[in-house]
Structure 1
Amino acid sequence: MATVELSFSALPVHVRTARLIVTAVARRSGVAETLLDEVRLAVGEACSRAVEAHALRCPDEPVRLELTGDGRRFEVSVSDSVPADEETGGLPKMAAPEDGFEHAWNDGTAELGLAVIAGLADDVEIAATPKGVQIRMSWPVAETPSP
Structure 2
Amino acid sequence: MATVELRFSALPEHVRTARLVAAAVARRAGVDEAVLDEVRLAVGEACTRAVGLHQSGGIAAPVQVTLIEEEKQFSIEVGDEAPGSVPGGASGVASDAEIEEDEMGLAVISGLVDDVEVIAGEHGGLIRMSWPTTPPAVALS
Asked whether the two chains share a fold, i.e. TM above 0.5, the reply is yes
Question: What are the superposed Cα offsets for residues 12-47 of structure 1, whole Å, 9 maximum, x if unpaired?
Answer: 000000000000000010101100000000000000
Letter in 2 for 1:133: G
Q: CA deviation at 1:104?
A: 2.8
What is the match of residue 134 of structure 2? 142
**In 1, Cα distance between equivalents of 2:11 and 2:116:** 24
Give the gaps of 5 or more residues in structure 1.
85-90, 96-102
| Matched residue SS, 1:51 | helix
- Displacement over 6 Å in runs of 4+: none
Q: Contact between 2:65 and 2:78, CA under 8 Å: does it hold in 1?
A: yes
User: Any conservation in 2 of the 1:83–1:130 contact (CA below 8 Å)?
Assistant: yes
Matched-pair contact (CA < 8 Å) for 1:32–1:142: yes
What amino acid maps onto 1:2 in structure 2? Answer: A
- Please tell me whether the aligned partners of residues 113 and 131 of structure 2 are also in contact (alpha carbons under 8 angstroms): yes
**SS of the residue aligned with 2:2?**
coil
Deviation at residue 58 of structure 1 after TM alignment? 3.2
Q: Offset at 1:130?
A: 0.4
Cα RMSD over matched residues? 1.8
- Aligned-pair identity in percent equals 53
Superposed CA offset, 1:114-141 (max 9, x none): 0110111120000000010100001110
Aligned to 1:110: 102
Shift of 1:56: 1.3
Q: What residue in structure 2 maps to residue 66 of structure 1?
A: 66
Structure 2, unaligned runs of 5 or more: 90-95
Q: In structure 1, what residue type is equivalent to 2:31? A: V
**Across the two proteins, how many residue pairs are aligned to each other?**
134
Judge conservation of contact 1:63–1:79 (CA < 8 Å) in 2.
yes
Q: 2 CA distance for matches of 1:142 and 1:54?
A: 35
Where 1:34 maps in the other structure, the secondary structure is: helix
Q: Distance in 1 between matches of 2:138 and 2:67?
A: 25
